Amino acid sequence: MAERITRDDVAHVAGLARLELTDEELERFTVQLAAVLDHAADVEALDTAGVAPTAHPLPLVNVLRDDVVRPGLDRDVVLAAAPSVEDDRFRVPPVLGEPS
């Protein structure tokens, strides 16, 4: 059986999440993620030909709220919890790559 997930895959996914992993962690997570994918493969093996796809485990649709303003959080309290603040804004390191 082909490998479910390679070390390179794990390194790629970690990179996307800006996680720096040690070699030892890469090895360990490759094994652990492969186990998760094995489980998904078990589920995939079931015959679901006659089963309609579900988008959500809850038998609910249209959970909505009215468009009415309610107070949120106090700025000073929130900013006090931030690592760095400038000009009433969250101060973050320079970023490369453009957002969508």
Say if CB 85 and CB 79 are below 8 A apart: yes
Is 83 one of the binding residues for another protein (CB under 8 A)? no
Report the alpha-carbon distance of residue 32 to residue 36 in Å, rounded: 7
Greatest alpha-carbon span in the chain:
58
Counting contacts by CB under 8 A, is residue 64 touching another protein? yes
Is 62 an interacting residue with respect to another protein (CB under 8 A)? yes
Write the single-letter amino acid at 31: V
CA separation for the pair 79, 76 (Å, rounded): 5
Given 17, 43, 46, 52, the residue binding another protein (CB under 8 A): 17
Note whether 68 binds another protein by CB under 8 A. yes
For the CB of residue 29, give the shortest distance to another protein in the complex, in Å.
16
Residues that bind another protein (CB under 8 A): 12, 15-18, 55-56, 58, 60-70, 72-73, 75, 78-79, 86-100
